[in-house]
A = this chain, B = another copy of it.
Amino acid sequence: MSVMTEAIIGAGEGTASPGATGPGTQVLVPTYEGDYVLDEHLLLECGRTLAGVTLHYAVYGRLNAARDNAVLVCHALSGSAQVGSWWPEIFAPGAVLSLKQDFVICINMLGSCYGSTGPGSVDPETGAVYGPDFPLVSIRDNVRAQALLLDSMGIRRLRLVLGGSLGGMQALDWTIFSPERVERALIIAVAPVSAMGLALNHLQRLAIQHDPDWAEGHYLPQRPPRRGLALARQIGMLSYKSAALLDERFGRNPNRNGEDPWGLDDQGGGLIGGRFDIAGYLDHQGQRFIERFDANAYLAILRTMDTWDPLHGHSSPTEVFSRIRARLSFVGISSDWLFPPEAVRHFAHAIRAAGVQADYREMTSAHGHDAFLAEQAELVRLLQ
């Protein structure tokens, strides 16, 4: 047993502290948060290896003596290991997870800028920051690295692995590539990225590449490609929201700061004009994002997302999906246009057709793809 595992097993339950996610919700403080460095090189699917791989992770609750109460939560594109901060309501009493009974682990994805090895890390083999030379790390590569971390904790089997969007991709790959280690998986709002999704990701990528400050990925920390990353995030944001939600929230209102879209040229010339409210909102979201995220990390994870397709290189779905032993539950979101509910349902049915226990439920929400984060209480109700 490692020092870290001792700390975890010895520690009490995650403590709750007042949070900022909404009335009645609380942000949970992890039992432990830290780094795990893999002993071995990680051989990636793309053929390259990563040395000295660090996984940053957070745990909540306590691992029981039998080590059979572990749950793995997988995060989405710009998420972090602190699942208690971004998904607190699934820990509510009677919800999906219980800090009294579960030992919840969340591991930052490789390629991210939240603690695990990514493009901003130093390559121990060269002593230089990876930057644009950071390789393609697949979802399956992530799962293999995560499994090594669980090995170090003495956890052989997960009661549940779950996630939405990119997190759902990881959850499914767990069931395919470590079938004997997963009892149940909950896969929310995801299917292999559609042509529209690939297109949206491509345009986000271009937005960053077009920023002269990107410097082909060799930008200086003090001069990152802010405008490009902000625009990428704004394109992404549109795909996470439904048109109905935007109409309801913003409509055709002028920006709430008083700009006038019909007005004379006080906002940078007659070609531009005052912003509508939705434009002000998107600009604000872009600004918030560049304060917390890194452009190369964004590019790395977009590529991880794009290339995920469990059937890639296989001739039949059965060949792949029949490996699964876990019981799967899929959730589609009624207003999601990035991963439309029909695509999620179709994907779930294809897996069930391979003899896997898989059910599909639909969450009714106007929030779009984001609903699994924006309407957590609704999600919990659906899952109960």
Is A275 engaged at the interface, CB distance under 8 Å to the other chain? yes
A312 interface neighbour in B203, B262, B271, B273, Cβ under 8 Å:
B262
- Which residues of chain B are within 8 angstroms of A238 by Cβ–Cβ distance? 196, 199-200, 203
Asked whether B235 lies within 8 Å of A202 as measured between CB atoms, the reply is no
A residues 85-136 with Cβ under 8 Å of B?
119, 132-136
A203, A303, A309, A337 interface centre (most CB from chain B within 10 Å): A203
A210 to B206, CA, bound (A): 12
Contacts A199-B238, A271-B217 hold; do A243 and B136 have CB atoms under 8 A apart? no
Stretch at the interface among A8-16, A53-61, A66-74, A226-234: A226-234
Contacts A252-B192, A264-B48 hold; do A271 and B119 have CB atoms under 8 A apart? yes
A211 to B273, CA, bound (A): 18
Asked whether B340 lies within 8 Å of A243 as measured between CB atoms, the reply is yes
Asked whether B246 lies within 8 Å of A199 as measured between CB atoms, the reply is yes
A265 interface neighbour in B135, B249, B262, B264, Cβ under 8 Å:
B135
Asked whether A47 lies within 8 Å of B278 as measured between CB atoms, the reply is no
A271 to B300, CA, bound (A): 5
Q: How far apart are A238's CB and chain B's nearest CB, in angstroms?
A: 6
Q: Kindly report which residue of chain B lies nearest to residue A296, judged by CB atoms.
A: B271
Asked whether B202 lies within 8 Å of A279 as measured between CB atoms, the reply is yes
- Which residues of chain B are within 8 angstroms of A234 by Cβ–Cβ distance? 203, 206
Asked whether B299 lies within 8 Å of A243 as measured between CB atoms, the reply is no
A279 to B303, CA, bound (A): 13
Is A198 engaged at the interface, CB distance under 8 Å to the other chain? yes
A212 to B202, CA, bound (A): 21
CB-CB contacts of A127-152 with B at 8 A, as 1s and 0s?
Answer: 00000111110000000000000000
- Which residues of chain B are within 8 angstroms of A231 by Cβ–Cβ distance? 203, 206-207, 210
- Which residues of chain B are within 8 angstroms of A209 by Cβ–Cβ distance? 272
Is A216 engaged at the interface, CB distance under 8 Å to the other chain? yes
Asked whether B309 lies within 8 Å of A264 as measured between CB atoms, the reply is no
Is A250 engaged at the interface, CB distance under 8 Å to the other chain? yes
A237 to B139, CA, bound (A): 30
Is A282 engaged at the interface, CB distance under 8 Å to the other chain? yes
Is A19 engaged at the interface, CB distance under 8 Å to the other chain? no
A270 interface neighbour in B134, B246, B247, Cβ under 8 Å:
B134
A residues 265-303 with Cβ under 8 Å of B?
265, 268-273, 275-279, 282, 296, 299-300, 303
A199, A273, A296 interface centre (most CB from chain B within 10 Å): A199
Q: List 26 A-B contacts (CB under 8 A).
A: A45-B262, A46-B263, A48-B270, A132-B270, A133-B269, A135-B265, A136-B262, A136-B270, A192-B252, A194-B246, A195-B252, A196-B246, A198-B279, A199-B278, A202-B276, A203-B231, A203-B238, A203-B282, A206-B231, A206-B234, A210-B227, A212-B212, A235-B235, A262-B312, A270-B303, A271-B300
A binding-site residues for B, Cβ under 8 Å: 45-48, 119, 132-136, 192-196, 198-200, 202-203, 205-207, 209-212, 216-217, 227-228, 231, 234-235, 238, 243, 246-247, 249-252, 261-265, 268-273, 275-279, 282, 296, 299-300, 303, 306-307, 309, 312, 337, 340
